[in-house]
Chain A
Amino acid sequence: MTAAWVLAVVVLGTGMAVAADVSGPALDYTLNCQGCHLADGAGTSGGVPQLAGSVARFLAVPGGREYLARVPGVAQAPLDDAATAGVLNWLLERFDHAHVPADFTPYTAAEIGRLRRAPLTDVETARRALVRRFDAAP
Chain B
Amino acid sequence: MRHDRSWIDRFVERTARDVARRTSRRSFLTRLGVMLMGTSALPLLPVARAADDARMPAPDESRLTGDVADPKSCHYWRHCAIDGFLCACCGGSASSCPPGTEMSPVTWIGTCRNPGDGKDYIISYNDCCGASLCMRCDCQRTEGEKPVYFTSKNNDLLWCFGTKSRAVTCSVAVVLGVATKS
Contact = CB atoms under 8 A, between A and B. Distances in A.
A91 to B, nearest CB: 15
A136 interface: no
A52 to B, nearest CB: 13
A18 to B, nearest CB: 8
Interface string A73-94: 0000010000000000000000
Nearest to B55: A39
A47 B161 contact: yes
A10 interface: yes
A23 B179 CA distance: 6
A14 B59 CA distance: 11
Contacts of A35: 106-109, 124, 152
A19 interface: yes
A20 B177 contact: yes
B48 A13 contact: yes
Contacts, number: 94
B162 A13 contact: no
A39 B8 CA distance: 51
B180 A27 contact: yes
Given A19-B121, A30-B109, A35-B107, A10 B162 contact: no
A31 B42 contact: no
Interface residues on B, range: 35 or more
Contacts of A22: 122, 176-180
A13 B42 contact: yes
A78 B51 CA distance: 28
A2 to B, nearest CB: 5
Nearest to A24: B182
Given A39-B54, A47-B162, A23 B182 contact: yes
A113 B175 CA distance: 33
A17 B177 contact: no
A39 B153 contact: no
Closest 8 CB pairs of A and B: A23-B182, A44-B162, A23-B180, A24-B182, A20-B177, A19-B56, A6-B38, A22-B177
Given A19-B57, A27-B182, A35-B109, 5 more contacts: A5-B35, A20-B56, A30-B109, A35-B107, A48-B106
29 contacts: A6-B38, A6-B41, A9-B38, A13-B42, A13-B47, A14-B57, A17-B57, A18-B56, A19-B178, A20-B56, A20-B177, A20-B178, A21-B178, A21-B180, A22-B179, A27-B179, A27-B180, A27-B182, A30-B109, A30-B122, A31-B122, A34-B109, A35-B106, A35-B124, A35-B152, A36-B161, A40-B54, A44-B161, A47-B162
